[in-house]
C-alpha cells in the first residue's frame, strides 16, 4: 500500500489539499533515524492503538516505564520492555483486564503508536506489526513520521508515583461523572484502522477544556481542527468507522478507554466535526504511575465555544 489509500485521498480531494498531502507524505518512511531513536529513549509514555483480534473492536491504551523502556533495536524495530518495573528500562505490562491485552500477545497485529513528550511538545508516530517478545513486545515499523506541535498542551515535567491500579469499571454508557471528565479534557488519543487490515493509526487530538462535547450518554462530538492535511485518521474513518479513544487524567493516572464507531460531518462552510458513538467504556482508576504538571495550553487551540 502507498502512503495514502482511497479514504485519505477522498478527504484530501474534498478539502482541496492533495498536492500539500503529497509533499508532506514524503516525510513518511519505514526506518527509524538516529534522532528518532534518541527521542524514544527519553520518554516515559507510549500510547498504542489496535483492534482486538477476537471481536474486532478498536481500542487505544497506554504503557509507561522508566526512560529507556521503549528503544529502537533495529532500523525498523522498536522494542518495549514490560514486566520489569523498578529498574532502568523497565515498564508496567498492561494488565490482563486491558482491552488490548490479547492484541499485544498476538503476532502480526497491526498497531499504531505515538510517543508524545508534553515537555517539548514533540510527537513521533511509529506504525507496524506487533511481535511478542520474552520481555514485552516489539513493533516492526512500516510507517515512521513526526507531526507538528499543534494542539499539544505543554506539561513541564512529571514524577513517578507508587500507585495500585483500581478495578476497571465497564459499561455501555457514560456515567454523569465520566461525561464531566470528558468535557474537562484537553487531550485524547484516537485509534483507527486502515482498510482491509492493512495497518492501524494512532493520532492525537487536543484543545482547551470543552473541545470535546458530550451530547448524550453514548455520544461525543469534536471539531476536527486544521492539521497536517494528510487526513490519515479521517481517511480511515471514511472506509472503516471503528475507532477507539483514550483519555488520561494527567494528575491521578486514571484512564478512560472508549470503543465504538465514528463518522465525519463536512459542513458547507468547510468545518469538519466528528461524531463518536460509544459501544463500551473501560474506566480504570490510578492506571498509570505518572503525575504530570499543570498544562500550558497550546497557542494553536481554538476557542471551544467559537
Provide φ and ψ at 161, rounded to 5°. Answer: -120, 140
Lowest mean pLDDT among 221-225, 230-234, 302-306: 302-306
pLDDT at 91: 59
Domain annotation covers residue 301? no
258 domain-assigned: yes
Q: Does residue 256 belong to any structural domain of this protein?
A: yes
What is the overall mean pLDDT for the chain? 92
What is the model's pTM? Answer: 0.94
Number of separate domains in the chain = 1
**Among 106, 107, 118, which Cα is nearest to 153's?**
118
- Confidence band of 210 (pLDDT split at 50, 70, 90): very high
Domain assignment present for 62: yes
pLDDT (0 to 100) of residue 198: 80
* Structural domain range at position 259: 6-296
Q: Parallel, antiparallel, or unpaired for β 272-284 and 154-155?
A: unpaired
- Among the listed residues 36, 229, 200, the one whose alpha carbon sits nearest the alpha carbon of residue 115: 36
Can you give the pLDDT at residue 92? Answer: 63
The CATH number of whichever domain residue 255 belongs to comes to 2.30.110.10
User: Per-residue confidence at 197, pLDDT binned at 50, 70, 90?
Assistant: confident
Domain assignment present for residue 282? The answer is: yes
Q: What is the pLDDT of residues 72-110, one digit of tens each?
A: 999 999 999 985 333 344 556 667 789 999 999 999 999
In a domain, 180, yes or no: yes
Which tops the pLDDT comparison, 59 or 21?
59
Amino acid at each position: 500500500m502507498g502512503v495514502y489509500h482511497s479514504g485519505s485521498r477522498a478527504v484530501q480531494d474534498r478539502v482541496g489539499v492533495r498536492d500539500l498531502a503529497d509533499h508532506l507524505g514524503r516525510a513518511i518512511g519505514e526506518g527509524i533515524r538516529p534522532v528518532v531513536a534518541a527521542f524514544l529513549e527519553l520518554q516515559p509514555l507510549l500510547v498504542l492503538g489496535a483492534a482486538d483480534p477476537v471481536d474486532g473492536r478498536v481500542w487505544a491504551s497506554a504503557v509507561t516505564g522508566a526512560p529507556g523502556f521503549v528503544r529502537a533495536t533495529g532500523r525498523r524495530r522498536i522494542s518495549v520492555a514490560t514486566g520489569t518495573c523498578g529498574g532502568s528500562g523497565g515498564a508496567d505490562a498492561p494488565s490482563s483486564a486491558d482491552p488490548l491485552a490479547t492484541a499485544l500477545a498476538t503476532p502480526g497485529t497491526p498497531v499504531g503508536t505515538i510517543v508524545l513528550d508534553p515537555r517539548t511538545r514533540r510527537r513521533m508516530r511509529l506504525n507496524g506489526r506487533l511481535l511478542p517478545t520474552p520481555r514485552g513486545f516489539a513493533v516492526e515499523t512500516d510507517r515512521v513520521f513526526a507531526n507538528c506541535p499543534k494542539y499539544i498542551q505543554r506539561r513541564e515535567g512529571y514524577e513517578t508515583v507508587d500507585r495500585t491500579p483500581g478495578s476497571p469499571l465497564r459499561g455501555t454508557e457514560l456515567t454523569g461523572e465520566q461525561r464531566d471528565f470528558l468535557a474537562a479534557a484537553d487531550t485524547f488519543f484516537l485509534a483507527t484502522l486502515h482498510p482491509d487490515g492493512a495497518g492501524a493509526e494512532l493520532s492525537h487530538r487536543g484543545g482547551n477544556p470543552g473541545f470535546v462535547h458530550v451530547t448524550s450518554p453514548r455520544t461525543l462530538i469534536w471539531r476536527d481542527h486544521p492539521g497536517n492535511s494528510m487526513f490519515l485518521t479521517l481517511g480511515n474513518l471514511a472506509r472503516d468507522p471503528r475507532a477507539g479513544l483514550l483519555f488520561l487524567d494527567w494528575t491521578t493516572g486514571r484512564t478512560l478507554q472508549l470503543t465504538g464507531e465514528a463518522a465525519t460531518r463536512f459542513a458547507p462552510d468547510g468545518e469538519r466535526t466528528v461524531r463518536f458513538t460509544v459501544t463500551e467504556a473501560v474506566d480504570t482508576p490510578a492506571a498509570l504511575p505518572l503525575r504530570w504538571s499543570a498544562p500550558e495550553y497550546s497557542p494553536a487551540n481554538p476557542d471551544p465555544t467559537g
